[in-house]
A and B are shown apart, each in its own frame.
Chain A
């Protein structure tokens, strides 16, 4: 597709369940970012993938959060044993990275609600 896509657009889950959020970056973009935005807050960096390098996981809030990127393209963010404070919009972005323009293109986000 022409832009970054994310799925699902909305996810409602019960506390304690695991969830998987998916991101399809723009074709050819080597850099992929995950952010979280809680209601009324700024964007919180979670994790960053660049090509085949080890991901920068410095923003992951706890070991319940993990992410992988398969084949340098699609990424999945997994939250295990969800808690109510995990409720937020999870945004994915991609860019050329690696010395490229640096402009990030964002997906529409996944709104996660943990009951």
Chain B
């Protein structure tokens, strides 16, 4: 059975802190891994990771994939209150199916 586990489920930090969000997965026909940020209703796309060991960066956010250990992390440095959201990890399979983890709820205190 396909499985996606994100940790921690919830995280509260102060503005300026650095956070690391974890995602482990076991899925068939893995193609790539997607990260999303969900603030209200609809998730917004952050990263797609296809190759192991290659870090993707976007401003203060970065992410890396380990296809051997079936693991990905999302880092946010110098956090801001606007980073408060649920961060979703989603393995993307070769038949175009996408399975979401339960997400990490991040809350940044001012």
Contact = CB atoms under 8 A, between A and B. Distances in A.
B42 A35 contact: no
A45 B34 contact: no
B45 A104 contact: yes
A72 interface: no
A45 B96 contact: no
A42 B41 contact: no
Contacts of A97: 96
A45 B98 contact: yes
Interface stretch (B11-19, B53-61, B99-107): B99-107
Interface in A32-74: 33, 35, 41-45, 48, 50, 56
A56 B42 CA distance: 22
A101 B48 contact: yes
B42 A102 contact: no
B100 A35 contact: yes
Contacts of A50: 95-96
Contact of B41 (A31, A56, A89, A104): A89
A79 B99 CA distance: 22
B103 A42 contact: yes
B88 interface: yes
B98 A42 contact: no
A56 B97 contact: yes
Contacts of A101: 48
B92 interface: yes
Interface of B: 6, 31-32, 34, 41-45, 48, 88, 90, 92, 95-103
18 contacts: A42-B88, A42-B100, A43-B88, A43-B103, A44-B100, A45-B98, A45-B100, A91-B41, A97-B96, A101-B48, A102-B48, A102-B96, A104-B34, A106-B44, A108-B41, A108-B42, A109-B41, A109-B42
